[in-house]
Structure 1
């Protein structure tokens, strides 16, 4: 325990603190799927490996938190309180847009004191499933999918190329799982496990994926384009140029001759 109680906190707080997170929410026909990694960092020190960054706001409304854990927890607690008051006063659950507006108001009015990036997602009678992104400093942006945190910078291209409208629940769950796993594998400040929640009219269902069951991506174990394999595909003059290097010249010349022969007979 001495190693834990004697962590040099003063040293960790020097300079900018690395706030690593990967969060995501995706709308589908019938609801939304939200997800996040579980790593909380203080500089290079992992303070918590199994954090729950998906916070319950109301029965069918959750938020994903990124930024300072203390700031986002405090803001989420305040909005949760107001959401319960709304239900007591009006006798019904607040719309997702109303909850997003509360988050935006708090984040914008306190932007100089807070480090909080929030994604609000849920289901209501008016719009069904909906997703609202509230970045650092405030602002509300309704989107079919939203990503946030340090890990999001690695997966914008993947999301743009992969996402399709009118997905069902299972396709959306798979998309969120793969996106978060990819972000976690590339971002050193994100990691741990994946927590997801599927929110529909009928229920809010939690999904937990431990670290040893995450989808795997290429991690450098394969050698793409080994010497023999790469040169065997080089035709014509380019092969002659490559042939100048080392003991594989004979292989390259033979491959080049075969390639040119095939071109003549094609």
Structure 2
């Protein structure tokens, strides 16, 4: 004889076994323990006070560029709360698997949850299936997370990612670097221009990149353009932090090629940042001197 309680327990165990085959970690968690999911989109009551939203830390700006044989993503280090600087050394760029990385601008708490959950999502799939997701599959998974946050985004808790990666299925290794941009509803687009930026300083950063970017360049050249673009964005956007020589706080960057994703050493970024500042300082002195002569 099987008691009713045992029967229920057995059914529950069977259901658990079936659900454990879900290749999406977020869907698996939604079935097994929804209370552990971050509040990505299930708005439990409207946020009526806009000052509450404005008081939350926000992170900007992220830039990404492709180069011959790979792709690079970089971000400034500042997070703001309204007109206050909340954090000077936040890291907005995260490696998500061997051949991809994300940078997320917007509400810092949501952005961090996106990055963490997305990294686990990719790792969970690889463990179950034994292979990495295709690059389009990675974009679709991140799109689902962004779409899940739509209700919160409509209340002002917006986080918009950039996804970069190396497409291991591309037969041409020189053009395998990919940049994908997203809208708040989860729509995504593979950038064909070779560069993109998101965040409050993105307009200034993209204008800078447009003038400096050379398709088919090398990784060092891409890093130099990214650092200078963030410097330009910081000059015109108060929410974007420029290189801080006093505190030795510089942008962070990740480079991805056929060998995988690696963080760019801080020493390399500092070297380029100092060169940019020195070049701008000399230019300003030259303009000042010519004005005095006139």
- Deviation digits for residues 88-128 of structure 1, max 9, x if unmatched? 12212222322221121221242130311100011131133
1:214 to 1:77, Cα distance in 2 relative to 1, 3 A: farther
Does structure 1 residue 60 correspond to structure 2 residue 121? no
Aligned Cα RMSD in Å?
2.7
Q: Could you tell me how far apart the structure 1 residues matched to 2:83 and 2:275 are?
A: 23
Maintained 8 Å contact 2:64/2:179: yes
TM, length-normalised to structure 2: 0.66
Quote the residue 1:141 is aligned against: 189
1:28 to 1:226, Cα distance in 2 relative to 1, 3 A: closer
C-alpha displacement at 1:15, in angstroms?
A: 7.2
C-alpha displacement at 1:19, in angstroms?
A: 3.2
Quote the residue 1:50 is aligned against: 89
Quote the residue 1:262 is aligned against: none
- Deviation digits for residues 199-223 of structure 1, max 9, x if unmatched? 1111323222359737223696643
Q: Could you tell me how far apart the structure 1 residues matched to 2:107 and 2:117 are?
A: 16
Please list, as runs of the form range in 1=range in 2, the aligned pairs for 1:25-174 lying within 5 A after superposition: 25-114=64-153, 115-127=158-170, 128-143=176-191, 144-174=194-224
The answer for unaligned runs of 5 or more in structure 2 is 1-48, 171-175, 242-248
Task: Please state which structure has a larger fraction of its residues in helix.
Answer: 2
What SS does the corresponding residue of 1:141 show, helix, strand or coil?
strand
Question: Which entry has the higher C-alpha Rg, 1 or 2?
Answer: 1
Number of residue-to-residue matches in the alignment? 219
The answer for unaligned runs of 5 or more in structure 1 is 1-10, 230-266
1:164 to 1:206, Cα distance in 2 relative to 1, 3 A: same
- The match for 1:200 among 226, 240, 257 is 257
Q: Could you tell me how far apart the structure 2 residues matched to 1:101 and 1:93 are?
A: 14
Q: Could you tell me how far apart the structure 2 residues matched to 1:61 and 1:210 are?
A: 24
TM, length-normalised to structure 1: 0.73
C-alpha displacement at 1:224, in angstroms?
A: 7.8
